[in-house]
Amino acid sequence: MKDVKARLPMRQRAGMPKLKKKALARPSLNYTLRGFRIKDGRLHLAGGVVCTVVWSRELPSTPSSVRVYQDAQGHWYCSFVVATEVQSLPETGQVIGIDWGVTETATTTSVAHDLPHLEHGKRAAVKLARYQRMMARRRPAKGKPASKGYRKAKRQAAKAHAKVARQRQDTARKWAMRVVIDHDAIAVEDFRPKFLAKTTMARKAADAAISATKNELIMMGRKHGRLVVLVDPKHTTMDCGQCGARTKHALPLSERTYTCTACGHVCPRDKNSARVMLVRAGLYPAGVEGGRPPEALPREAA
């Protein structure tokens, strides 16, 4: 009898750190408490540098550090680290389950809080493609400095990218705030859409910005003292949100209606998954739609 030995993959070493290229790295400066101060609405940095700042809002407390950085458009920003307090909201007695998707960014147990796919990137694709073609035509030869036209096209492309990013962030924050205000507890699918980058839905999934929207919802819930429960997404499309029975086979993506063979419950597939989130989080409403039963003891957020 022969001994069969399986060859294990060799662990790769991290290697030496690589230096950033000056032409590719954007400037960023970090200052601790002794390296900056705020006086008369202006930011004084170490070395006698005084910056006039356009404040987006008042600082809630004394900052402990600041990061001064430049974005792709050449604009400078200051990011302060401050201690914040929980801003509690009045209780509503309502709960909600959220399931992420591509056709709709977020499908919830409440029809009024569904988040449609607004396709900000798709609307800006024509303009962005034009700027990228301009950059391709004006690209300098290797070792040659970039022309004025190339730099202008590069700024325009960066401006288009930044506008789409701001639109996605604004949509996510407004939707997350509306969900947090109307509900005491939120059951969220802990979905990691990284695998979608290798599928035919990669572009649409990236435009949906599921991860950014989920992070905004979690941060908004913590800011206002709401209970946010992250639910494991495994088999959520196979379980019945009414009786808890599980189908024997996974549903194909083309099948958008869930039908339970045990209890006969029929509902849209994403709505059923959103209800499964409530069941797994221990927030399943007994009787009233969207209401939390008094005996339910929800788990803490992961």
Do 73 and 104 lie in a common domain?
A: no
Q: Are residues 77 and 107 in the same domain?
A: no
- Helix (H) or strand (E) run with residue 96 in it: strand 95-100
Q: Tell me the pLDDT tens digit for each residue of 238-274.
A: 888 878 778 877 777 777 888 887 787 788 888 888 8
My answer on whether 101 and 215 are in the same domain is yes
Distance of CA 229 to the CA centre of its chain: 16
For residue 15, being part of any structural domain is answered with no
CB 125 within 8 A of CB 81: no
Reduce the DSSP state of residue 180 to 3 states and report it.
Answer: helix
Q: Parallel, antiparallel, or unpaired for β 185-189 and 42-45? A: unpaired
What pLDDT is attached to residue 2? 46
Q: What is the pLDDT of residue 13?
A: 67
CA distances 59 to 7, 22, 29, 31, Å, are: 57, 33, 20, 17
Q: Based on the domain organization, do 218 and 258 belong to the same domain?
A: yes
CATH number assigned to the domain comprising residue 268: 3.30.420
**Same domain as 209, residue 248:** yes
Domain residues for the domain of 67 are 28-81
Q: Are residues 171 and 71 in the same domain?
A: no
Using CB atoms within 10 Å of the CB of residue 146, give its burial: 0 to 12 exposed, 13 to 18 middle, 19+ buried.
middle
Residues 77 and 167 in one domain: no
Maximum Cα–Cα distance across the chain: 84
- The tokens describing 89, both together, are 């909201």
Positions of the chain with pLDDT under 50: 1-9, 286-302
Residue 61 lies in a domain: yes
Complete DSSP assignment for 103-144? SEEEEESSGGG-EE---HHHHTHHHHHHHHHHHHHTPPPTTS
Residue 109 located in a structural domain: yes
pLDDT given for residue 293 in this prediction: 44
Whether 186 is in a domain gets the answer yes
Query: 294 lies in a domain?
Result: no
Strands 42-45 and 49-52: antiparallel
Number of domains the chain contains: 2
- Can you tell me the distance from the alpha carbon of 129 to that of 157, in angstroms, rounded to the nearest whole number? 9
Chain segment 76-100, per-residue pLDDT in tens: 999 999 988 888 899 988 999 999 8
Contact by Cβ (8 Å): 216, 173: yes
- What is the per-residue pLDDT for 11? 56
Question: pLDDT above 90 covers what percent of the chain?
Answer: 41
Residues 65 and 99 in one domain: no
42 contacts: CB under 8 Å, gap ≥ 6: 50, 51, 52, 53
Residue 273 lies in a domain: yes
Q: Is residue 218 part of a domain?
A: yes
Residue 301 lies in a domain: no
Assigned token pair, 277: 């989130």
Q: Judge if 73 and 168 occupy the same domain.
A: no
